[in-house]
Each structure stands twice: as structure tokens, then as C-alpha cells.
């Protein structure tokens, strides 16, 4: 991407002959006017104004061209990646593709402002991870999940313009939006997993893809304690877990007490912590390459907008995000309620009394299990419904 806009002072240094050759007719005329009138730029107000208008339009055109070229380069790589689906690739072939992609990024052929930058980052992350895991393998079969594959197909093969004549909209197409109810459903190939013990009963059978969990609740209810229990449960089944303890400094004695009380000794080597985000969103982004589960306590301390919560979930669909959101005095989460809609599971922590013995977490939304399940944070057990006769049977009133 062009580092500096074209100005009167840098015109000849910044604008190449190839740039000039590709200009449309109206800007070609502006270029000729510039060459003929530039010596009067600082003397004649009308010439100064006309040249400035030309430079403004020139920069808009060059910017649009660079963005178009960037989009084209991204689409080419996405198309190549899509063609890898269900194919066997060698380690050297993956390495070559990754190298070419990184070269395109470093040469600014693809930038972070590109329309498809998120997809490019996602495929780059996945292929680098796959390549690094091929220690004893020379070949691997590439499989792109159906949801992402459909998104990539729409990018590399966009539907024709609606105004084109002769388009038969009744002809079935692969990936068509609607499916008849009388068709045999296709069984999902997405694997599920379940956390051990009561935590598994609380959350149900989970799918890792784009899994995000929000935690909110009463002050002093035990939100942080509950996240440490979640960290232990995820580490128990082999996940590497990162906890951003932004509410509590790393030197706090509370961190040590939380570790001793809630993290099993055999799981601690899979759980790490940090108490700051030196590069904000990028710090979290970098952590996704190392950890399977990222816990943030709390989002409000990140300084990031709430929209970045869903951005993380979409950009890193194979990383599980568990985030605490603080409440306002009106008991709504700070920064807006969008994360509650984006997450697959919403958990509310209820403070019953000051003893902490009766505080519990309850699922208020759960795409993977039953809502309303209550989990006692102190005992780490599911709270069972009581079968008290006074609540279940009508009473006969005596005079």
C-alpha cells in the first residue's frame, strides 16, 4: 500500500509511470494540466485550487485501485486454499503456500484493511499450526469445515448480479439458503466433548467451534473463583489454558489462594496467567496460537469495545473464550449486551448471602445443554431440586 499520499511536493517521486498509464481519461487530463501549470502553483490561486482538486481525486482513485488489488490477491489465496479441501498436501507444499502468503502480506499485497483479512488470518493461523504439528508426518489431508467452506465459496464464486437476464432462480444450487423439511438431515461431523463431573452437567455436551462463554453477576458472588474452576475442568481434559487476571495483580496473595484451592496440582502445568495486556487485542490474538482456552477477568479492564468479543470468536474459531463482564448499577453488563447474544453460553453468578456457602452459578442461556441448571461454587456440586412435600402436595386446611 502507498505509504504517502501524492502531494504537490512529492508528485514525481511518488507517482510512477505505470500509475500514470493506468489513470482514467479525466485524471490523464489532470496530469497534463499539472505538468503545464505546476510552475504557477504558488502564484495563481485558481491554478492552486485546480491542482489541489486534481490531487484529491487522484489519491481517491489510487487508494481504490490498491484496495481492489489487495482484495484480488486475497481472493486468489482463498481460492487456492479452498481447492485444498479434501486433498492430501505434503509438508513442503504447505510450507510453500504459507511462505507465498506471508510474502504477499509483507509486500502489502494483502493488508489488515482488506475486505477478507479475517479469512486470510484464519487460514494462515490454521496452516501454520498444521505445519508445525507435522513433526513425524510428510503428508496430511486438509479438511475445511462445511460452514467456513460455504463462506469461502461465496467469496471466490459470488452470485451473479440480480439484474442479469436469463438467471433461473428456481434451479437448485449447492449451498442454497433453504432446505426442504422432507429431506433426510445430514448428521453433524462436529465432535462434542464434556467437562468432567458437575461442571459437565452444568454446561452439557460442548462443541469447540466458536465456543464462547460469558459470566456476569453480583459483586462478591464468586465470578473469579468460578472461572478458576472452569480453568481446572478444561485443563483436566488436556487443554492449555491462559487466564488474564486483569482485575487482580499477579503479586496478589489472592492469586495464590485461588491456585491452591481450585487448581488441581496435576493440571497446573497446563494453566498460565498474565495480569496485563501490553498490546491490547493483539496480545489476546497472539495467545490463541499457544492456548486452547483463554479466560479474561474482566473484559472491562481490557479497554476494548464489546464488539471485539465476537471478533475474537469469529477470527479464532478453534479457541475457547471465557470472559467475565462487569455489571452496571442497573445490573446490565458494561459496554452493551451484544456479547450475551454472541456467546453460546451465558452464566449468571448469584450472591445469596455473605457466607459464600450458598452462592451459585446458573446457566441463563445454553446452546449445548439445559438452561436453569444451578451449580454451587463453594461445594462444586449441582444444586438439586428439593422434593419437599409442602411444595409438591396440596395441604388440607383444618379448622
pLDDT at position 65: 62
Give ∠ CA 212-378-226 in degrees, rounded to 5.
20
pLDDT at 398 over 50: no
- 216/346 same-domain check: yes
Q: Is residue 359 part of a domain?
A: yes
pLDDT at position 158: 58
% residues pLDDT > 70 (the chain)? 84
% residues pLDDT > 90 (the chain)? 33
Helix (H) or strand (E) holding 225: helix 223-236
Q: Is residue 397 part of a domain?
A: no
- 226/101 same-domain check: no
* Residues spanned by the domain of 128: 11-156
What is the mean predicted confidence (pLDDT) over 2-15?
A: 79
pLDDT at position 66: 60
d(CA 287, CA 281): 10
Among 126-130, 164-168, 229-233, the least confident range:
164-168
pLDDT at 68 over 60: no
- 115/208 same-domain check: no
Which has more pLDDT, 18 or 382? 382
Q: Is residue 344 part of a domain?
A: yes
Q: Is residue 175 part of a domain?
A: no
When the pLDDT of each residue in the chain is averaged and rounded to a whole number, the result is 81
Q: Is residue 255 part of a domain?
A: yes
- 121/232 same-domain check: no
pLDDT at position 69: 47
Q: Is residue 240 part of a domain?
A: yes
Among 11-15, 86-90, 151-155, the least confident range:
151-155
Given a contact cutoff of 8 angstroms between Cβ atoms, the answer to whether 91 and 50 are in contact is no
What are the cell numbers at 58?
Answer: 487522484
- Give the Cβ contact number of residue 116 at 10 Å: 21
pLDDT digits (tens, 9 = 90+) for 301-339: 998 888 889 889 989 999 999 999 988 777 777 777 788
- 44/109 same-domain check: yes
- 37/150 same-domain check: yes
Q: Is residue 176 part of a domain?
A: no
pLDDT at position 85: 85
pLDDT band at residue 74 using 50, 70 and 90 as cut-offs: confident
- 141/216 same-domain check: no
The radius of gyration computed from the CA coordinates of the chain, to the nearest angstrom, equals: 28
pLDDT band at residue 77 using 50, 70 and 90 as cut-offs: confident
> What CATH number is attached to the domain comprising 243?
3.40.50.300
What are the cell numbers at 219?
Answer: 459483586
pLDDT at 345 over 90: yes
Q: Is residue 6 part of a domain?
A: no
Report the range out of 38-42, 113-117, 121-125, 380-384 with the highest average pLDDT.
380-384
d(CA 174, CA 153): 10
pLDDT band at residue 182 using 50, 70 and 90 as cut-offs: low
Closest CA to 300 of 234, 190, 216: 216
pLDDT at 76 over 50: yes
pLDDT at 51 over 60: yes
pLDDT at position 246: 92
What is the mean predicted confidence (pLDDT) over 111-137?
A: 81
d(CA 366, CA 115): 32
Structural domains in the chain (count): 2
Amino acid at each position: 500500500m502507498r505509504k504517502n499520499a501524492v502531494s504537490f511536493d512529492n508528485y514525481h517521486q511518488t507517482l510512477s509511470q505505470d500509475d500514470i498509464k493506468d489513470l482514467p481519461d479525466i485524471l490523464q487530463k489532470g496530469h497534463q494540466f499539472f505538468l503545464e501549470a505546476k510552475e504557477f502553483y504558488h502564484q495563481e490561486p485558481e491554478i492552486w485550487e485546480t491542482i489541489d482538486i486534481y490531487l484529491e481525486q487522484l489519491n481517491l482513485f489510487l487508494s481504490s485501485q490498491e484496495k481492489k488489488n489487495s482484495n484480488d490477491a486475497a481472493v486468489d489465496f482463498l481460492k487456492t486454499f479452498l481447492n485444498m479441501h479434501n486433498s492430501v498436501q505434503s509438508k513442503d507444499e504447505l510450507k510453500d503456500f504459507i511462505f507465498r502468503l506471508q510474502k504477499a502480506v509483507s509486500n502489502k499485497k494483502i493488508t489488515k484493511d482488506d475486505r477478507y483479512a479475517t479469512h486470510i488470518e484464519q487460514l494462515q493461523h490454521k496452516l501454520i499450526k498444521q505445519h508445525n504439528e507435522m513433526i513425524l508426518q510428510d503428508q496430511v489431508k486438509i479438511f475445511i469445515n462445511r460452514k467456513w467452506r460455504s463462506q469461502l465459496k461465496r467469496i471466490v464464486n459470488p452470485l451473479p448480479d440480480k439484474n442479469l437476464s436469463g438467471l433461473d432462480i428456481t434451479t437448485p444450487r449447492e449451498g442454497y439458503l433453504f432446505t426442504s423439511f422432507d429431506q433426510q438431515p445430514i448428521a453433524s461431523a462436529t465432535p462434542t466433548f464434556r467437562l468432567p463431573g458437575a461442571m459437565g452437567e452444568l454446561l452439557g455436551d460442548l462443541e469447540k467451534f466458536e465456543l464462547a462463554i460469558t459470566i456476569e453477576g453480583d459483586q462478591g458472588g464468586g465470578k473469579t473463583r468460578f472461572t478458576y474452576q472452569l480453568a481446572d475442568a478444561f485443563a483436566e481434559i488436556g487443554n492449555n489454558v491462559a487466564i488474564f487476571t486483569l482485575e487482580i495483580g499477579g503479586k496478589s496473595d489472592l492469586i495464590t489462594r485461588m491456585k491452591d484451592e481450585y487448581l488441581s496440582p496435576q493440571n497446573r502445568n497446563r494453566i498460565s496467567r498474565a495480569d496485563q495486556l501490553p498490546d491490547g487485542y493483539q496480545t489476546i490474538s497472539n495467545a490463541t496460537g499457544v492456548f486452547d482456552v483463554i479466560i479474561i477477568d474482566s473484559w472491562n479492564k481490557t479497554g476494548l469495545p464489546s464488539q471485539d468479543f465476537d471478533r475474537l470468536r469469529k477470527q479464532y474459531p478453534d479457541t475457547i473464550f471465557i470472559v467475565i463482564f462487569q455489571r452496571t448499577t442497573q445490573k446490565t453488563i458494561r459496554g452493551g449486551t451484544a456479547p450475551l447474544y454472541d456467546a453460546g453460553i451465558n452464566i449468571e453468578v448469584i450472591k445469596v448471602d455473605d457466607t459464600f456457602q450458598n452462592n451459585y452459578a446458573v446457566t441463563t442461556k445454553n446452546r449445548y445443554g439445559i438452561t436453569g441448571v444451578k451449580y454451587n461454587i463453594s461445594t462444586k456440586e449441582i444444586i438439586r431440586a428439593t422434593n419437599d412435600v409442602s411444595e409438591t402436595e396440596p395441604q388440607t386446611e383444618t379448622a
